[in-house]
Structure 1
Amino acid sequence: MTPARTDERALAALQQEHGRALFRFILGLTFGDRHRAEDLVQETFVRVWQHPEALRSDHESMRPWLFTVARRLAIDARRARQARPKELSDMALEKTPSAVDPSERSMAGLDVRQALAGLSAEHRAVLVLVYFRGMSVAEASEVLDIPPGTVKSRTYYALRGLKEALQG
């Protein structure tokens, strides 16, 4: 047996008579959050629909009962939100820095230093100038007093040797 529900016409008449006032009341309870207020108004009328006995009361107006139900729903919703951790937007998550362990960065630096120490002096000098000091091939060529083509080939072989040392 299905439970009794409020007649749709009675519910529509109730919403027509008290809906706007109820929305304004809940809007104040939700600090102007229109979406939350609309949800709470809807939930209030769902409660009326679920409890047809409320309409059969001998009260002059249903407004006090509706406002009481809406106020309790707003309080319950607020308590539920406070009990959960605050939800973050996608933008906030994107701006959150990733958790990088500083010890991992230190270890990576040590690994690179060890790999550099394993290279020949010529290869190490080219990498230091081009990658760590940010010089162009032409600038490194001048500092090392070697042709630009030699800087390029030493850089290629130095990077390959560095990669092999770091992977091994």
Structure 2
Amino acid sequence: MAVLYDMYSATLYGVVLQIVKIDETAEDVLQDAFVKIWNSFENYDTTKGRLFTWMINICRNQAIDAIRSKQHRVNNKTEDIAGNAHSGISSDEFKPDHIGVRDMVNDLNPEQKQVIDLMYFEGLTQSEIAEAYNIPLGTVKTRARSAVKVLSRFFKSRA
């Protein structure tokens, strides 16, 4: 386990941090993920993908579970209120929810939605998505392109 941790913890921490956005939460999620990896190592199947891909999927799922948890949402809202009370909201801060982008993305087909969520809201590259989800890179690019076409038609109809 120590060898796996030494080899992959920094990279996995970066993936988790991109999702949860808070250092302390990312550290907790990474620890939980490594416990889960350790406890379910016998479930790893070499025929289904690389070890790193399996580990990154466990970490990503743990991070998503963490941000969906009620406690995480409460903590984020409390921090947002406290931070905004002192500093004000930055005028150059982009909030996709303000213009309804999340609602538009929810109307995409599930495959397009997954790619857009991972690219634009989680910050993954198309290559990272392809590797992590065992989807051909060309398929990821096609799904992203078709989703952008659907979204652009929506924006044009609102203009």
Provide the TM-score with structure 2 as the length reference. Answer: 0.42
Structure with larger RCO (C-alpha < 8 A, sep 6+): 2
Q: Which has the larger radius of gyration?
A: 1
More helix by share: 2
